[in-house]
């Protein structure tokens, strides 16, 4: 076996379903460990509180100074960061992050596979964003950043996945991961 675990990264515009896909992937593949990010954003009414470690800006900035993040970024006025993974039990690590964070991990880590998740249509994306309970203003801002996220995402991604159906899309990602693991085992 290759000693270094894989770092699998999901990127894509807000509302595309990365969170649902990430949960589905870890349910299906016990060799994947899903990182729980920190954020300074306020919890949405539709969220349970498990989605992130919700902290204030001061706490987040202290953690940056202490070198506790694998990557972090400011996105639409809030900070988001992936804590340096611990206790993964040797599993491959799955991140669900925005594009600036993906640029950082690609720069600093060798075994990175980046999946750009795209919606089947813009109408689909807009209706998902509206269903999350965010304000109209917030939905508009997220839609405006979609083109940028998809453009940069194309430059970074090793694979493009259309999230037309969560079961199909997660199946596609899992087969790619399996193939990568097979290749790495044969090289070890």
Q: Which two tokens stand for residue 58?
A: 């001061």
Residue number with CB closer to ligand 5GP (3 or 42): 42
Q: For residues 14 and 119, which CB has a smaller minimum distance to ligand 5GP in the complex? A: 14
14 is a site residue for ligand 5GP (CB under 6 A): yes
Please tell me whether residue 7 binds ligand 5GP under the rule CB under 6 A: no
- When the beta carbons of 102 and 177 are compared against ligand 5GP, the nearer one is 102
- Among 7, 17, 32, 75, indicate the residue that binds ligand 5GP (CB under 6 A): 75
5 binds ligand 5GP (CB under 6 A): no
Q: Which stretch binds ligand 5GP (CB under 6 A): 24-32, 74-82, 112-120, 155-163?
A: 74-82
SS (H, E, C) 117-174: EECCCHHHHHHHHHCCCCCHHHHHHHHHHHHHHHHHHHHHCCEEEECCCHHHHHHHHH
Is residue 119 a contact point for ligand 5GP (CB under 6 A)? no
User: If binding is defined by CB under 6 A, does position 163 make contact with ligand 5GP?
Assistant: no
Q: Residue 92: CB partners within 8 Å, gap ≥ 6?
A: 5, 6, 7, 8, 31, 32, 33, 177, 181
Please give the structure tokens belonging to residue 158. Answer: 């090793």
Euclidean distance between the first and the last CA atom of the chain, given in angstroms as a whole number: 6
Judged by beta carbon, residue 37 or residue 163, the one nearer ligand 5GP is: 37
- β 78-83/38-39 pair status: antiparallel
């Amino acid at each position: 076996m290759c000693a270094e675990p894989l770092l699998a990264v999901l990127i894509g515009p807000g509302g595309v379903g990365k969170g649902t896909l990430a949960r589905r992937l870890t349910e299906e593949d016990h060799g994947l460990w899903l990182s729980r990010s920190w954020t300074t954003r306020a919890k949405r009414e539709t969220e349970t509180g498990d989605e992130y470690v919700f902290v204030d800006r001061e706490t987040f900035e202290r953690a940056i100074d202490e070198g506790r993040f694998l990557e972090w970024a400011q996105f639409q006025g809030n900070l988001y960061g992936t804590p340096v993974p611990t206790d993964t039990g040797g599993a491959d690590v799955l991140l669900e992050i925005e594009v600036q964070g993906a640029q950082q991990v690609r720069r600093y880590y060798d075994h990175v596979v980046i999946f750009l998740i795209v919606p089947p249509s813009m109408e689909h994306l807009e209706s998902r964003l509206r269903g999350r309970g965010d304000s109209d203003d917030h939905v508009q801002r997220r839609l405006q950043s979609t083109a940028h996220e998809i453009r940069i995402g194309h430059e970074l991604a090793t694979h493009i996945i259309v999230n037309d159906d969560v079961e199909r899309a997660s199946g596609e990602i899992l087969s790619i991961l399996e193939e990568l693991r097979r290749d790495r085992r044969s090289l070890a």
